[in-house]
Amino acid sequence: MTEYLCNVCNVFEYDNAEGNAELGIAPGTKPEDFPDDWKCPICGADKSHQIPV
């Protein structure tokens, strides 16, 4: 299990063990495997701004 935080807004958190059903992300998916057009639902930053915490 790894948790990630958007380093732009410091609000959006993502846990790859749980995924995110609201955003259509399956459990076990790492941020680098998000679709290329994925954006942070809080601030709109791209997936490269998801950092492990």
> What does pLDDT average to over the chain?
96
Dihedral (Cα; 13, 1, 22, 46), 10-degree rounding: 50
- On the question of pLDDT at 19 being above 90, the answer is yes
pLDDT of residue 20: 96
Quick one: CATH architecture of 3-52? Single Sheet (2.20)
Which pTM value belongs to this model? 0.90
For residues 12-19, average pLDDT: 97
pLDDT band at 1 (very low <50, low <70, confident <90, very high): confident
- The burial class, CB within 10 Å (0-12 / 13-18 / 19+), for 7 is middle
Mean pLDDT of 11-22: 97
Domain ranges of the chain: 3-52
Residue 3 has which token pair? 């948790």
